[in-house]
Copies of this chain bind each other. A is one copy, B any other.
Amino acid sequence: MKITVFNTGGTFNKRYNPILGQLEVPTDSMALDAVLKSIHNVQVEIINLISKDSLDITNDDRTFLVNQIQKCEDEAIIVIHGTDTMDLTADFIAQYINNKKVILTGAMIPMSIDSIEATMNFSLALGFLNASVAHGVYVAMHGAVASYEKLKKNRMQGKFLIID
């Protein structure tokens, strides 16, 4: 299997900058690289497309992302995205892409602070892509992989929950 990961930043990637005393979205893929070390049966290409907190993602960013997905030769795509506007970006992608398996994922806690949640979310996406799944736009978070219309962030609880 070959997949492309489009990295748009978000909490998943955040790292602490000791000089500034705050968390930053880096432009690299160090958080993903840590996960890649345990993947031996999938060819993974990481493209650092955008490096933003998801509250700062614009529709221009989304158009750019859709263009990149369209141009991508892989059928299986994972998008790393901040959690706050993951639903908006998923909606946007679903309007334009219908011939690929696109899974958005991210984390509530930076990989650099606690690797378990971020690793789980990414690996849920990867495990799902190992099955024969239909084209579509999905979200992989907190134990679930489901259509982007059914798995949404509950801001009060800080959890992605399946909506019945």
Contacts and interface: CB of A to CB of B under 8 A. Distances in A.
A37 interface: yes
Contact of A123 (B22, B41, B119): B119
Contacts of A162: 41
B41 A142 contact: yes
Copies in the complex: 4
A137 interface: no
A65 interface: no
A117 interface: yes
A130 B158 CA distance: 21
Interface stretch (A11-19, A56-64, A90-98): A11-19
Interface of A: 1, 11, 16, 18-19, 21-23, 34-35, 37-42, 44, 84, 108-110, 112-117, 119-133, 140, 142-146, 151, 155-162
Q: Which 3 A-B pairs have the closest CB atoms?
A: A127-B127, A131-B131, A123-B123
